[in-house]
């Protein structure tokens, strides 16, 4: 099969690779769409550095050549699971939890201590075929387009963040970041909780315009004075800028909540005295749960036209290096989906 193989920073080669052989309880999936993500960009620019989880898994290290791609939609062609017979269209969660530990039993598969991920610690979907446990895939709802399903995995990350945010109807919410992640969080919030007043802050005017179309009540240029946002019930940092996490703790009202979504490259400075004195809750969110967030994201995509707003283009495998360069330069606003059959 044709595959985009990662050798190191700025070195991805289009190669012939053997079609993976599915094991017990696994499916072989013909890839129809494979999304490019900020994580792909990080690995392209700086090498694999995601999450200490990597060290805990035999596939870890990610040193040698590997097929990336963790946002996948495809058709099951071989199956060792009665739940997903051949022909089933599926979206992949990418994450492979143990399903057996205390956290997995709670449904919190995203923080399983034995978790690994297709496309990050094991071969992923930037190829014609991908294999993985059937339990890491969810069937598509009837009639959902392949392009829309192509953003289900990152949208599920936004849905998870929105659930973790604990917003209540009527809450005044400030969201830092209108990029891909911010957009997915905004969409999740809009569809999970009614009556929110959401202000989105970013420095990019076109991203703010998109945020308005996705349901932001107010958009604010991040370079302006933000003090009028003081008193928010909930402030979400989805830009990955450490100073904004600090700012979030300053803008939230006493008794309010701050949610850290972004992964800052540097440490954020937090005034614990201010947090304690005002009983401010600082919470975090990571990735998605397979059984709850991924089906919710698929439903949301079927009920809305989010995909029209968030899918940038569909490109062939050999476009990956140039696209990652474009993304690293901040020139792509939406999601680029790879169709390995092109």
The residue among 218 and 286 lying less far from Zn ion, judged by its C-beta, is 286
- Residues 84 and 139: beta-carbon distance below 8 Å: yes
Q: Rounded to an integer, what distance in angstroms lies between the CA atom of residue 105 and that of residue 123?
A: 26
CB nearer Zn ion, residue 246 or residue 291: 291
Give the residue with the Cβ less far from Zn ion, 112 or 172.
112
What's the first-to-final CA gap in the chain, in angstroms? Answer: 13
Question: Residue 251 half-sphere exposure, CB side, CA atoms within 13 Å?
Answer: 27
The residue within the footprint of Zn ion, chosen from 7, 47, 49, 98 (CB under 5 A), is 98
d(CA 185, CA 165): 10
Residue 1 interacts with Zn ion (CB under 5 A)?
no
- From 60-68, 95-103, 194-202, 223-231, give the range in contact with Zn ion by CB under 5 A: 95-103
Among 67, 112, 180, 234, binds Zn ion (CB under 5 A): 112
Decide whether 19 or 101 has the Cβ nearer to Zn ion.
101
Helices (H), 258-292: 272-277
The answer to whether 268 contacts Zn ion (rule: CB under 5 A) is no
Query: Taking CB under 5 A as the rule, does residue 104 contact Zn ion?
Result: yes
Q: What's the closest the beta carbon of residue 320 comes to Zn ion, in angstroms?
A: 14
Distance CA 105, CA 128 (A): 33
Number of residues that bind Zn ion (CB under 5 A): 7
Tell whether residue 263 is a contact of Zn ion (CB under 5 A): no
Tokens 């300053």 map to which residue? 250
As measured in angstroms, the least distance from the Cβ of 164 to Zn ion is 17
Sign of the torsion formed by the C-alpha atoms of 112, 135, 91 and 338: positive
120 and 94 Cβ atoms separated by less than 8 Å? yes
Interface with Zn ion by CB under 5 A: which residues? Answer: 37, 39, 97-98, 101, 104, 112
């Amino acid at each position: 099969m044709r595959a985009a193989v990662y050798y190191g920073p700025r070195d991805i080669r289009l190669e012939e690779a053997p079609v993976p052989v599915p094991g017990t309880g696994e499916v072989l999936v013909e890839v129809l769409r494979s999304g490019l993500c900020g994580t792909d960009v990080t690995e392209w620019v700086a090498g694999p550095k995601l999450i200490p989880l990597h060290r805990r898994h035999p596939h870890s290290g990610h040193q040698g050549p590997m097929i990336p791609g963790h946002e996948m939609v495809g058709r099951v062609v071989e199956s060792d699971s009665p739940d997903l017979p051949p022909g089933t269209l599926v979206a992949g969660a990418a994450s492979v939890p143990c399903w057996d530990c205390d956290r997995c039993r709670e449904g919190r598969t995203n923080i399983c201590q034995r978790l690994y991920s297709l496309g990050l610690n094991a071969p992923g979907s930037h190829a014609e075929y991908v294999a993985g446990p059937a339990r890491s895939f969810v069937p598509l709802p009837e009639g959902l387009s392949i392009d829309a399903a192509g953003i289900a995995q990152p949208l599920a990350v936004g849905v998870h963040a929105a659930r973790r945010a604990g917003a209540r109807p009527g809450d005044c919410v400030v969201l830092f970041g209108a990029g891909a992640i911010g957009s997915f969080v905004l969409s999740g919030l809009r569809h999970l909780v009614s009556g929110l007043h959401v202000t989105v802050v970013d420095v990019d005017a076109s991203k703010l315009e998109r945020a308005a179309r996705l349901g932001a009540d107010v958009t604010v240029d991040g370079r302006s004075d933000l003090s009028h946002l003081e008193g928010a019930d909930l402030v979400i940092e989805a830009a990955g800028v450490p100073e904004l996490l600090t700012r979030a703790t300053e803008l939230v009202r006493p008794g309010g909540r701050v949610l850290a979504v972004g992964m800052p490259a540097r440490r954020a400075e937090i005034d614990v005295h201010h947090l304690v004195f005002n009983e401010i809750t600082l919470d975090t969110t990571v990735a998605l749960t397979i059984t709850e967030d991924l089906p919710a994201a698929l439903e949301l995509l079927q009920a809305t036209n989010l995909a029209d707003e968030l899918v940038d283009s569909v490109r062939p495998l050999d476009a990956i290096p140039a696209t990652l360069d474009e993304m690293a330069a901040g020139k792509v606003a939406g999601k680029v989906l790879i169709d390995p059959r092109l």
